[in-house]
Amino acid sequence: MKLWVYVTVLLLLMLGVSVGIYEYNVYTNSGGKSVPVVKEGDKISVRYYGYIYYGGERRVFDTNIEDIAKDNVTYPKTVSYHWSGHFDLLTFKVGSGSMIKGFDEGVRGMKLNETKTIVVPPDEGYPFSWNKVSNESIYQNVPVVENISIDQFYKRFANTNPTTNSVYRDKMYGWNCIVLYVNPLKNIVTIQNNPDIDQDYELFGNPSLFVHVDKVDGSTIYFHYIIKSLPILLPSGGIIDQVNGDHFRINFNQEVAGKTLYFVVTVVKIEPGSS
């Protein structure tokens, strides 16, 4: 065999060995045992918690880890966080479209029992719609006497049936109102707002949100909102998340929509998909 043939064979052998070593290091752990790696088509199960930032503070919006769900000191929660009471593993097929894009792509390449922080940019997380945002003036007014529907009365007065000449506390503004007239056939409740001038009223039992009554001028009550801290979850499901001068924003998007998301994920099970 000629010299150049020996050289070529030797180079191919060296290349094969180097590739083999590279693949060995990628797919095995330090103990030399084979470790599964997440790829598209695999069915995997994970433990996780997800958080966003508000003013530099980390707030958890979702988790299936019970200790984290219970710990509101180390892991403060978003205002819309929902306690489910269930902490099953999150199981899904990678690449199926059942998860948001950033999460699905972030788990690929993870090893069994590996823990990793996945950073999901807004365009790979939950969509934000400007149609679900309203800007409201801090300075507002309301008539002393109002005609509202029975359904509106239920929402403002804690699902209470209106009775003529009875006094109720208005959840929307915090002050007391008297029912002047009820007409169920026309679906009308006539109420009279009775606030005290220069008084602060706490709304919805939230110590971060008040109205201050500035004056009562004839048939109109003038007041302004006092917003002490953000964000504030409203009973309507909207969140006051910004104050800009004499306006504040009510956001009806999901609290996580349009934000960078952080997921701390541990892969606890991998079922390989068909190749």
pLDDT at 84: 86
Average pLDDT score over residue span 175-185: 97
Task: Compute φ and ψ for 56, nearest 5 degrees.
Answer: 85, -5
In this structure, are residues 76 and 60 in contact, taking their beta carbons and an 8 Å threshold? yes
pLDDT at 116: 98
In this structure, are residues 42 and 272 in contact, taking their beta carbons and an 8 Å threshold? yes
CA–CA gap between residue 262 and residue 256 (Å, rounded):
11
Residue 25 has pLDDT above 60, yes or no: no
In this structure, are residues 62 and 69 in contact, taking their beta carbons and an 8 Å threshold? no
pLDDT tens track for 106-124: 999 999 999 999 999 999 9
Residue 35 has pLDDT above 60, yes or no: yes
Residue 19 has pLDDT above 90, yes or no: no
Burial of 44 (0-12, 13-18, 19+ CB in 10 A): buried
Average pLDDT score over residue span 180-195: 97
- pLDDT band at residue 31 using 50, 70 and 90 as cut-offs: low
In this structure, are residues 232 and 258 in contact, taking their beta carbons and an 8 Å threshold? no
Q: Where are the alpha helices (DSSP H) in 33-143?
A: 66-70, 101-107
CA–CA gap between residue 59 and residue 129 (Å, rounded):
22
Contacts of 135 (CB under 8 A, 6+ apart): 244, 247, 248, 249, 250
- Listing DSSP states for 77-102 in one string gives B-TT----S--PPEEEETTSSSS-HH
CB atoms within 10 A of CB 183: 11
- pLDDT band at residue 16 using 50, 70 and 90 as cut-offs: very low
CB atoms within 10 A of CB 9: 11
Average pLDDT score over residue span 132-160: 95
Residue 97 has pLDDT above 50, yes or no: yes
Among residues 129, 121, 123, 128, the alpha carbon closest in space to that of 262 is found at 121
CA–CA gap between residue 236 and residue 28 (Å, rounded):
52
Task: Name the helix (H) or strand (E) containing 10.
Answer: helix 3-27
Average pLDDT score over residue span 123-133: 97
Alpha carbons within 13 angstroms on the beta-carbon side of residue 146 total 18
Dihedral sign for Cα atoms in the order 228, 233, 235, 237? positive
Residue 15 has pLDDT above 90, yes or no: no
Span between the terminal Cα atoms of the chain, in Å: 41
In this structure, are residues 170 and 177 in contact, taking their beta carbons and an 8 Å threshold? yes
Query: For the chain, what is the mean pLDDT?
Result: 89
Average pLDDT score over residue span 171-184: 96
Residues above pLDDT 90, as percent of the chain: 81
Q: Where are the domains of the chain?
A: 1-34, 43-124+257-271, 132-251
Confidence (pTM) = 0.79
CA–CA gap between residue 12 and residue 202 (Å, rounded):
78
Among residues 225, 108, 96, 245, the alpha carbon closest in space to that of 173 is found at 225
pLDDT tens track for 211-260: 999 999 989 999 999 999 999 999 889 999 999 999 999 999 999 999 99
CB atoms within 10 A of CB 120: 22
Domain 43-124+257-271: state its class.
alpha beta
